[in-house]
Chain A
Amino acid sequence: MKVFVVGKGGTGKSTVSVALSLILKEKGVKVISLDPAHNIKDILSYGTVQGIEVVEPDFDEELKKYLKKLTDTMKKEAFRYLTLFNLENLVDTLRYSPGTEEHMLLEAIEKHLSDSENVVFDTPPTGLFLKVLGLLDSNILWISRLIKIREDIVKRKNLKDDRILELLNVEFAKLNSLKENLLKNAVFINVMNEDALSLRESKRIITFLRKRGYRVILNIVNKSSTTQTFFENIKHINIPPISGNPYNIASGTSRLLEEIIKEVNDESLD
Chain B
Amino acid sequence: MNVIEILKAFFKEKAFSFYDAETQEKEKLFSFLLFGWILGFPMPSSLLSLKLLPYADEEISKLLLIVRDLDDQFGKALGQFDID
Contacts and interface: CB of A to CB of B under 8 A. Distances in A.
Give the interface SS of chain B, mostly helix, strand, loop or mixed.
helix
Contact of B26 (A90, A107, A142, A152): A152
B55 A77 contact: yes
A79 to B, nearest CB: 6
Contacts of A164: 52, 55-56, 59
A73 interface: yes
A69 to B, nearest CB: 10
Contact of B45 (A81, A97, A143, A168): A97
Given A153-B23, A153-B27, A99 B54 contact: no
A150 interface: yes
A156 B19 contact: yes
B37 A97 contact: yes
Contacts of B53: 70, 74
Contacts of A168: 52
Nearest to A156: B23
B54 A74 contact: yes
Contacts of B84: none
Interface stretch (B3-11, B28-36, B69-77): B28-36
B60 to A, nearest CB: 7
Contact of A80 (B19, B37, B57): B57
B2 interface: no
Chain A interface size, as a band, is 20 to 34
A149 B23 CA distance: 10
A150 B50 CA distance: 17
Interface residues of B, number: 28
B17 interface: no
Contacts of A90: 38
Determine which residue in B38, B46, B47 has the highest number of CB atoms from chain A within 10 A of its CB, and name it: B47
Interface in A121-154: 139, 142-143, 146, 149-150, 152-153
A207 B18 CA distance: 50
Interface of A: 67, 70, 73-74, 76-77, 79-81, 90, 94, 97-100, 103, 107, 139, 142-143, 146, 149-150, 152-153, 156-157, 163-164, 167-168, 171
Given A80-B57, A97-B44, A139-B46, 9 more contacts: A77-B55, A94-B50, A98-B44, A142-B48, A146-B30, A156-B22, A157-B23, A164-B59, A167-B55
